[in-house]
Chain A
């Protein structure tokens, strides 16, 4: 009996997971199709780009600055064990550009932007503002969701590029001032070592993460039900699912770029 219950519960969870994935896929397909079909809302898209891109600069900048600094200290300490301290510049550059700036940037933006989006759209849903849009001949997918998806997908690469520079600069500051590296050599090592693919793979990740964050914010907000509690749950779900999907997508994209 206990075994049967257990199996039934596993089955129910699995079916629930399949259903949720299907709903999300349909939502994503609909949303993306509206990105490419007029009417477009350039002004709202621009507003979203500013709110996602410009206003996330402090949080992404601080995150990558401190991460770059800590990374330099850790790599110096770690590589000293086999007398390879000279590699700090290279490892910081590759670590920031390929992995840390996109992933940490994506997670920070998920917390800042994804949560706010889910709360805003969720409140619009429970106060009938989304129904009101429909009755005013305005498709909520075009007016609310498409501008956010465009803004997220375009602005996260920009944020990550800034994050790359700040993170590498953080490593440089620690290396030169605390670890007594030669500044010119450090810069030369970084520039010589970095390849295009290091930067580009990070920016591609950023674009995908931006899409994930805004999609999750819109999806959970759009589906929220039942007043304040529903909006709260939507906000939590948006951040949690976006974070998990970012980490999963990160592994997949890394594998695709660097499979040999």
Chain B
């Protein structure tokens, strides 16, 4: 029997009122694979991620993690899924009432019930992995720059050695050099853990760097899916327009022209 994919989505639909955000997403992510979803703003990337995480529940369709159906799972089962996940949020979403190392150690202390001293050691090691020193560990998130906050967020996402890591717009809002630093850190930490990675971004440079495979989402559907090497000759006009950043093409933006 073939090994079941790490993440599998079949016909996932989600609407908010009359607005259809996802209209039938099909996607498989294999074990140890890094898949990047590209697509414009408001095409349903974040909603899809939140459906997989279980923060939103889809209106119809199936989402399976390691072959186990996760839509409509009970709270104990949901906990088991969550233990496999790590997530880097777009805004980093650090807990501003806690110090940096407490943020990184949060999943270990609260989620896994580890002793604080032991969790602190691991947190410092993970912070070192993303290039942050022990002094930074004692600061509050509000005292850090955007790039440092992203790095702390990354350290927090990998602290529990998750099997699957989600990256939500990891480079948005960073300067090009810091964005590349984050890309390198993502690649190295995912490789170190041997984890499966699913990222969403509209930063093509970042997607090329961290992806094994790229899928493009448009109007709530996956319209193209292929290895990163084929991105430039996908033969798909939507993909071409998007990766070259052209205003003219099959994707129409609503802009009022004078």
Residues of A whose CB lies within 8 Å of any CB of B are 124, 127-129, 131-132, 134-138, 143
* Nearest CB in chain A: distance from B249 CB, A: 32
Not counting A132-B95, A135-B53, A135-B86, a sample of 10 additional A-B residue pairs whose C-beta atoms are within 8 angstroms of each other reads: A127-B91, A128-B90, A129-B95, A134-B54, A134-B82, A135-B85, A136-B107, A136-B160, A137-B107, A138-B111
Q: Judge whether A143 and B87 touch: CB under 8 Å.
A: no
Q: Judge whether A136 and B93 touch: CB under 8 Å.
A: no
Residue of B79, B83, B93 with most partner-chain A CB within 10 A:
B93
Q: Which of B93-107 contact A (CB under 8 A)?
A: 93-96, 106-107
* Nearest CB in chain A: distance from B53 CB, A: 6
* Nearest CB in chain B: distance from A223 CB, A: 15
- Counting chain B residues whose Cβ lies within 8 A of the other chain, the interface size class is 20 to 34
User: What residues on A are CB-neighbors of B90 within 8 Å?
Assistant: 128
Flag whether B110 is at the interface (Cβ < 8 A). yes
What is the bound-complex CA distance between A131 and B53, given in angstroms? 9
Flag whether B253 is at the interface (Cβ < 8 A). no
Interface residue from A124, A131, A138 paired with B89 (Cβ < 8 Å): A131
Q: Judge whether B55 and A137 touch: CB under 8 Å.
A: no
What is the bound-complex CA distance between A143 and B109, given in angstroms? 13
29 A-B pairs with CB atoms under 8 Å apart are: A124-B95, A127-B91, A128-B91, A128-B93, A129-B93, A129-B95, A129-B96, A131-B50, A131-B55, A131-B89, A132-B89, A132-B95, A134-B53, A134-B54, A134-B82, A135-B85, A135-B86, A135-B87, A136-B106, A136-B110, A136-B111, A136-B156, A136-B160, A137-B79, A137-B110, A137-B111, A137-B160, A138-B106, A138-B111
Flag whether B191 is at the interface (Cβ < 8 A). no
Q: Judge whether B110 and A138 touch: CB under 8 Å.
A: yes
**A-B contacts, CB under 8 A, total:** 51
Using A131-B55, A132-B95 as known contacts, say yes or no to A137 and B82 having CB atoms under 8 A apart.
yes
What is the bound-complex CA distance between A132 and B106, given in angstroms? 10
* Nearest CB in chain A: distance from B257 CB, A: 29
User: What residues on A are CB-neighbors of B89 within 8 Å?
Assistant: 128, 131-132
> In the complex, which residue of chain B has the Cβ closest to the Cβ of A37?
B75
Flag whether B209 is at the interface (Cβ < 8 A). no
Top 10 A-B residue pairs of the complex, sorted by shortest distance between their CB atoms: A137-B111, A128-B93, A136-B107, A132-B93, A135-B87, A138-B110, A137-B82, A128-B89, A129-B93, A136-B106
* Nearest CB in chain B: distance from A14 CB, A: 21
User: What residues on A are CB-neighbors of B107 within 8 Å?
Assistant: 136-138
Residue of A134, A137, A143 with most partner-chain B CB within 10 A:
A137
What is the bound-complex CA distance between A81 and B50, given in angstroms? 70
User: What residues on B are CB-neighbors of A132 within 8 Å?
Assistant: 87, 89, 93-95
Flag whether B112 is at the interface (Cβ < 8 A). yes
What is the bound-complex CA distance between A124 and B91, given in angstroms? 12
What is the bound-complex CA distance between A235 and B111, given in angstroms? 30
> In the complex, which residue of chain A has the Cβ closest to the Cβ of B87?
A135
What is the bound-complex CA distance between A134 and B54, given in angstroms? 9
* Nearest CB in chain B: distance from A46 CB, A: 15
> In the complex, which residue of chain B has the Cβ closest to the Cβ of A142?
B110
Q: Judge whether B110 and A143 touch: CB under 8 Å.
A: yes
Using A136-B106, A137-B82, A138-B106 as known contacts, say yes or no to A131 and B93 having CB atoms under 8 A apart.
yes
User: What residues on A are CB-neighbors of B55 within 8 Å?
Assistant: 131, 134
* Nearest CB in chain B: distance from A26 CB, A: 15
> In the complex, which residue of chain B has the Cβ closest to the Cβ of A129?
B93
User: What residues on A are CB-neighbors of B110 within 8 Å?
Assistant: 136-138, 143
> In the complex, which residue of chain A has the Cβ closest to the Cβ of B111?
A137
* Nearest CB in chain B: distance from A55 CB, A: 16
What is the bound-complex CA distance between A135 and B156, given in angstroms? 11
User: What residues on B are CB-neighbors of A136 within 8 Å?
Assistant: 82, 106-107, 110-111, 156, 160
User: What residues on B are CB-neighbors of A124 within 8 Å?
Assistant: 95
